[in-house]
Structure 1
Amino acid sequence: MSINNRRELSLLSHDEAELIKSSRRPALDLLDAKALVEAKRRLRDLRGKERSLAHQKSREVRGKAEPRGGSFPGTADRPRERKQVFSAALRRVNSRAARLRVEGVKQAHIDAARRALAMRLANPPPAVPKPGRTAGKGMRQVESRKVSSKTAPAKVGSVSQATKKAQAKRDQA
């Protein structure tokens, strides 16, 4: 469930609110790679702190752990909401970092293509074309894998000779 901006600001301190504001669209586009890495680190730390606090509070409610610190009474709902705020901001910062990475890769491809084009234009093809295929040994015949008949070639001749002999005997008689 998303939390609206007014509710987010009521949950956060001034410094945290500034960090969250910088993770939103107009300010997020102005951040460079180093600032994004720093924002990711801070958001992860804050999210982890709220996660562990929410976990501790839920353990206290169930009676599994002793209360920790007297300055933070209440349930685990507020730390969970704060964790959601930091998680959403971290998601925005991560997606911006991914977009910057993709833009960097695209630019690297464009630069490589331009270098390749410059190299190709610097070395024009020769005026005389290559001769292409030459005779050499000539084309090689590809043997057919089909079997023409199942009768052995030696057998074919003997059968026809036997037929000739049989016919000759019948003609003499």
Structure 2
Amino acid sequence: MSLTRKEEERALNTDERAVVAQTRHPAVQDLPDDELSALLKRLRDLRDKASSHANQQRREMRGKAPPKGAEPSAGNAGSSLKATVLATALKRLNAEIQRREEMAKNHTLVENAQRALHMKMEAQRKNIPFNTRHASQGMRDIPDKDVNSLVRPAERGRLRKASQVAQAKRDAAEG
């Protein structure tokens, strides 16, 4: 179930609201990568603190842990809501980081393809004669002159042996 912004604001204090506001669409795309990673660390710390506080309150309600304050907690709805809001903001931030990584991968792929095309065009432009040698130019691709046979070697051997046997029978008949 999604939460409204009003419910989120009710669960968070002013510092947390400012951090969560930076994870929403227009603001998160304007952040540089270093600020994005710092925001990610801050948000993780806030989420961990809120979820551990909610867990502590839950244990107090069940009587498993001693109360932190004067009396045990009556409910942990606010703390668990805060943890949920921070976890959703963290999910948005992770999605933005993943989107940037995918864009960087695609950008790198395009750059490499363009560089390879440029190198290929340069090599074709030089028009080096085939038989000349050039130092430090690396290996050249020499196409195979042998035609690959489509007949299996075992089949070739079987046919060769059969023709030998046939020739031996003819020789024996003549002789």
TM-score norm. by structure 2 comes to: 0.73
Aligned residue-pair number:
158
Computing the radius of gyration from Cα coordinates, the structure with the larger value is 1
**Gaps (5+ residues) in structure 2?**
132-141
2:43–2:86 contact (8 Å) kept in structure 1: yes
For residue 154 of structure 2, what is the amino acid of its counterpart?
Answer: R
Report the CA distance between 1:125 and its aligned residue.
Answer: 5.5
Matches within 5 A, 1:103-142: 103-123=103-123, 124=125, 126=127
Q: Alpha carbons of 1:35 and 1:72: their partners in 2 closer, same or farther (altered >3 Å)?
A: farther
- Checking the alignment, whether the CA contact within 8 Å between 2:54 and 2:76 is kept in structure 1 is yes
Relative to structure 1, is the Cα distance of residues 36 and 134 closer, same or farther in structure 2, using a 3 angstrom cutoff? closer
Deviations 1:50-100 (A, max 9, x none): 111111111111111000134994412111100000000000000000111
Q: Could you tell which deviates more after superposition, 38-47 or 111-120? A: 111-120
Report the counterpart of residue 76 of structure 2 in structure 1: 76
Tell me which amino acid in the other structure corresponds to 1:47: R
Which range moves more in the overlay, 66-75 or 77-86?
A: 66-75
Q: Within 5 Å, which residues of 2 pair with 1:10-21?
A: 10-21=10-21
1:17-41 CA distance string (max 9 Å, x none): 1111111111111112111111111
The 5-angstrom pairing of residues 11-90 of structure 1 reads 11-70=11-70, 73-90=73-90
**Residue in structure 1 matching 2:165, options 153, 158, 164:** 153
Stretch of structure 1 that moved more, 114-123 or 97-106 = 114-123
Separation in 2 of the partners of 1:134 and 1:98? 45
Please list every run of 5 or more consecutive structure 1 residues that lacks an aligned counterpart in the other structure: 162-173
Equivalent position SS for 1:75: coil
TM-score, normalization by structure 1: 0.74
Over the aligned positions, Cα root-mean-square deviation in angstroms equals 3.5
